Amino acid sequence: MRAIVVTGYGDVDKLEVRNVPEPSAAPGEVKVRVTASSVNPIDWKLRSGVYRQKSPLEFPAILGRDASGEVVAVGTGVRSIRVGDKVLGLVNRAYAEYVVDKEEAWGEVPASMDPVDAGALPLVTLTGTQLIEEAVRPRSGEVVLVTGAVGSVGRSAVFAARTLGARVLAGVRRSQQQEAAKLNVGVVALDDDSAIARLPQLDSIADTVGGETIQKLLGKVKTGGVIGSVLGEPPRAKERGLVVRAHMVHPNGRRLAELARAVAQGELVIPIAKKFPLAEIREAQTLAESGPGGKVVLLVR
Ligand SMILES: NC(=O)c1ccc[n+]([C@@H]2O[C@H](COP(=O)([O-])OP(=O)(O)OC[C@H]3O[C@@H](n4cnc5c(N)ncnc54)[C@H](OP(=O)(O)O)[C@@H]3O)[C@@H](O)[C@H]2O)c1
């Protein structure tokens, strides 16, 4: 099968189309002919080598966490998924024509959704909702600031926090305020110190940005409040008496199917910036890294 491999740490020129052996479904696993995948920040963090201590790659490596497509085989013991089903999943090695992963990773693509668009959803929607539901865990009426709120993980976090009845503030760049207004929550410019000074006391922050931005915000959270982050524990947060929960996304096919339905119904919007054929992976990752304001989708077949 055709796949994109990373041949070594470095720039996008380390990405190549190659023929590699097709995977097969072991017991409890599902094999999918991939329709679409998408580019996520983790892809270029792994490729460039900035994560080489944390998650070293063995070359040639196949990247890609998102897949949508059609089931072509199921391993023994698989009960909930059948050959021919249209599915999406948070998986590994998705920059390829075929992907295999465990049954629990896959959820159903809604009938009204273009399977190509489904390829944009798994990693970002699961991460944003798990950040809220498993790390921040706000109660109804609590004030939650989501940083990077017009990013794909941030939008999903805003959606989940609103669903739980939290009072959500969308933290964005000044240049993104107009876009953020469409989320129908309060908006705060995180690159405007006077706007940060005017913030009410926060019960919690769901952080998708990290760095200096989260440091500037720590003092706005009440003692005993929660910092949930998808970028590891922010330094000096615990010392301030805050509860800190760093979250790593995990697959959940059933929840993913619900989130895909929320997208199909327009309750959660994950914009797509551009779609590229898989073979144009270098152009696709270059655009994704530039911050195009939406997902970059890879058309596999
Ligand atoms: N822990 C996990 O399991 C996990 C899983 C998935 C993702 N992540 C991480 O989550 C982060 C977000 O991913 P994503 O897919 O949502 O990326 P994204 O779509 O690019 O969203 C990031 C958003 O944050 C904004 N932003 C960046 N720096 C900012 C700052 N200083 N102030 C205000 N806004 C800022 C970006 O704006 P610009 O585009 O203008 O920069 C963008 O709107 C990434 O670092 C990713 O690696 C972690």
231 lines ligand 1 (CB under 6 A): yes
Phi and psi, residue 130, nearest 5°? -65, -35
Give residue 86 CA to ligand 1 midpoint distance, Å.
Answer: 29
Give residue 207 CA to ligand 1 midpoint distance, Å.
Answer: 9
pLDDT at 230: 98
Q: Which atom of ligand 1 is nearest to the CA of 230?
A: 1
The helix/strand/coil state of 295 is: strand
Give residue 170 CA to ligand 1 midpoint distance, Å.
Answer: 13
Give residue 1 CA to ligand 1 midpoint distance, Å.
Answer: 32
pLDDT at 234: 98
41 lines ligand 1 (CB under 6 A): yes
What fold is seen in the domain 2-121+270-299?
Quinone Oxidoreductase; Chain A, domain 1 (3.90.180)
Residue nearest to atom 26 of ligand 1 (CA): 148
Q: Provide the whole-model pTM.
A: 0.98
- pLDDT averages per 10-residue partition of the chain, 301 residues: 98 98 98 98 98 96 98 98 98 98 98 98 99 98 98 98 98 98 98 98 98 98 98 97 98 98 98 98 98 98 88
Sketch the domain layout of the chain as residue ranges: 2-121+270-299, 125-246
Cβ-in-10-Å burial (0-12, 13-18, 19+) of 7 comes to middle
pLDDT at 71: 98
150 lines ligand 1 (CB under 6 A): yes
pLDDT at 298: 98
Q: Which atom of ligand 1 is nearest to the CA of 42?
A: 47
Give residue 174 CA to ligand 1 midpoint distance, Å.
Answer: 15
248 lines ligand 1 (CB under 6 A): yes
Angle between helices 41-48 and 281-289 (to 10 degrees): 110
Residue nearest to atom 24 of ligand 1 (CA): 148
Say yes or no: domain 125-246 is CATH 3.40.50.720: yes
In angstroms, the CA 167 to CA 118 distance is 29
The token pair that represents 218 in the structure block: 């720590």
74 lines ligand 1 (CB under 6 A): no
Give residue 142 CA to ligand 1 midpoint distance, Å.
Answer: 23
